Amino acid sequence: MKLNSSDAAYLLASIGVFCFIDSAVVYFSIYYGSLPAVSADCPVTVFPPWYSQYFFTLISALGFLSILIYFGVFVAYHRAHSALLSNVLNQQSHNAMQRRLTVTLGIVCFSTLFLFTIPNGIYAWGKWTKTYITIGSLLGNMIRMSSIVNVVIYIVRQKELRTAMMKLVIPQPKVSTVTSDANRQLRLRTAF
C-alpha cells in the first residue's frame, strides 16, 4: 500500500542488477571456467562443478526468501484488513474474503516450501557436501510441479482469478460497437 513509483523503480533496478550479475556468472562459468569432469548423472555439461553449487544454493536461498516474503505479506495483509474491517458495514463478507485469501496464501506458501525450496535445498546440500542425491529425479519433478501446483491452488481457491482465467482461455463473443453504442444511448435516455 505504501509502494510509490520511486520504490518500484528501485525494486525493478535491483532485479535488473541481480539478473545482470547472475548472467555474468553464467557467461564466465561457461567460457572462462575449467572444463568439468563427466559424471554419471549428467554426461554432457558445459558448466564447471562450482556452478551447480552456486546455482542450487542461490535458488534455495531465494526460495526461503520468498517464503519469508509470503509470511510478511500475510501478516501485513491481516493487520491492514483487521483495521479496515472495523469501518466496513458488510463485515461478514469481507471477513470471509480475507480468510479465504489468507488461507490461499498459506497453502501456496507451504506448497512453495515443500515442492520448491526444500528440494533445491537438498540439491544445494548435496553439492556442498559432495554427496550424490539418489532421489534427484523425484526432487527435479517436484521442483517442476511447484509452479503448476501454485497456479492450480490460486484458480481453485480464488473465484475472481478463476473467472479471469476462463475469460483468457475461452474465447468471448465480440459485441459490435454499433450495438454497444446504441445500448449505451438507450440507457442514457431512460436514466434521465
The answer to the question of residue 73 being in a domain is yes
The answer to the question of residue 72 being in a domain is yes
- Evaluate the CA torsion angle 169, 173, 174, 179 in order and state its sign: negative
The answer to the question of residue 106 being in a domain is yes
The answer to the question of residue 97 being in a domain is yes
Picking from 158, 63, 71, 157, the residue whose alpha carbon sits closest to that of residue 114 is 63
What span, in angstroms and rounded, lies between the C-alpha atoms of 22 and 61? 14
> How many domains does one find in the chain?
1
Say how many CA atoms lie within 13 Å of 42 toward its Cβ.
Answer: 12
What pTM value is reported for the model?
0.59
How far the first Cα of the chain sits from its last, in Å, is: 39
Per-residue pLDDT of the chain in tens (192 residues, 90 and over written 9): 566 778 778 888 988 998 888 888 877 777 766 555 555 555 455 667 777 788 888 888 888 888 888 778 777 776 776 666 555 555 666 667 777 777 888 888 888 888 888 888 888 888 888 888 788 788 888 888 888 898 888 888 887 777 877 777 777 776 555 556 666 666 656 554
Q: Rounded to an integer, what is the distance from CA 163 to the centroid of its chain? A: 20
What's the domain range around 137?
49-171
